[in-house]
Structure 1
Amino acid sequence: MNATRRFCYACDLVHDSNLIQEYKQYHSEGKAWPEITDSIKAAGIVDMEIYLVENRLFMIMEVDETFTLERKKKMDRENPKVQEWEDLMWKFQQALPSAKNGEKWVPTELIFQL
C-alpha cells in the first residue's frame, strides 16, 4: 500500500447564512461538478474533506506520492472548468485576514498529533 501525506487548509466564507447554505449545496454529495472532482483525483488527491464551523472552512487532503502543490496549481491554471468553479466559489469565500493577495486556502500548522 502506498503511503499518503496529509495537507490541511483553512478558508473563510462570507458571513451570510444564505450564501453559506448555497455553498453547502454546491458541496453536498453528488453536487460538485464532475470536472472538479476528476481534476482533484488527477492531481493525486486520494481523499478530501471540508468541515465548516460558523463561517470558517477546514479542508483535509490525503495525497499520494504523485501530488505536489506546484503541479496542482499548474493543472488548475490550465483547466478552464476549474477556473470557472474557482471564480464561482469566490462569491462565497473570503480570504483569511492573514492570507496573501489572491490566496484562498491558507495552510494550517500542525501543533498536536497523537
Structure 2
Amino acid sequence: MNTRYCFALDLVNDPTLIAEYEAYHRAVWPEILKSITDAGIIDMEIYRFGNRLFMIMDTDETFSFERKAAMDAGNTRVDDWEAQMWKYQQAIPGTKPGEKWVLMNRIFKL
C-alpha cells in the first residue's frame, strides 16, 4: 500500500536565490534521485507560491523516515546537496531549530 506525505518549507525571499533553487531542481543530481528512489519514494513533486514550497511525496511499503535517514547518513552527495539547498531554504515559523521540510497534517479529503 502506498502512503502520501505532504510537507511545507519556505525559501529565502530573494528572487535571484529562488531562481537558482528552481534551476537546481530542473537538474537534480543523479545521486540524489537515486537516494530518493532507493528509499522507497515512488513519486515526488514540489510546488512553489512566492517563497513557500509544498512537497508531495508518495512512498511504497518499504519507506520509513528512519530508514531514509539511515541511508542518507553515510551518503556524502546527499550531505553536499542538503548543505547547498540550505543556502536557499529557511524554516517555517514554529519549526524546531535546524528543521527543514515540515510534515503537514491532512485536514480534508474528498
Shorter-chain TM-score category? over 0.9
- Are 1:56 and 2:52 counterparts? yes
d(CA) in 2 for partners of 1:105 and 1:73?
A: 13
Q: Secondary structure at the match of 1:27?
A: helix
| TM-score (norm. length: structure 1) | 0.94
TM-score by length of 2: 0.98
- How far has the Cα of 1:47 moved from its partner? 0.2
In the TM superposition, what are the counterparts of 1:62-81 in structure 2 within 5 Å? 62-81=58-77
User: Residue 97 of structure 1 aligns with which residue?
Assistant: 93
Unmatched runs of 5 consecutive residues or more in structure 1: none
Q: Could you tell me which runs of 5 or more consecutive residues in structure 2 were left unpaired when the two chains were aligned.
A: none
Q: Which amino acid aligns with 2:100?
A: K
The partner residue of 1:46 within 30, 42, 67 is: 42
- Candidates 68, 78, 83, aligned match of 1:82: 78
Letter in 2 for 1:19: L
Of all paired residues, the percent bearing the same amino acid is: 57
Cross-structure match for 1:25: 23
Question: How far has the Cα of 1:74 moved from its partner?
Answer: 1.3
Which residue is 1:12 aligned to?
10
Q: C-alpha root-mean-square deviation of aligned residues, in Å?
A: 0.6
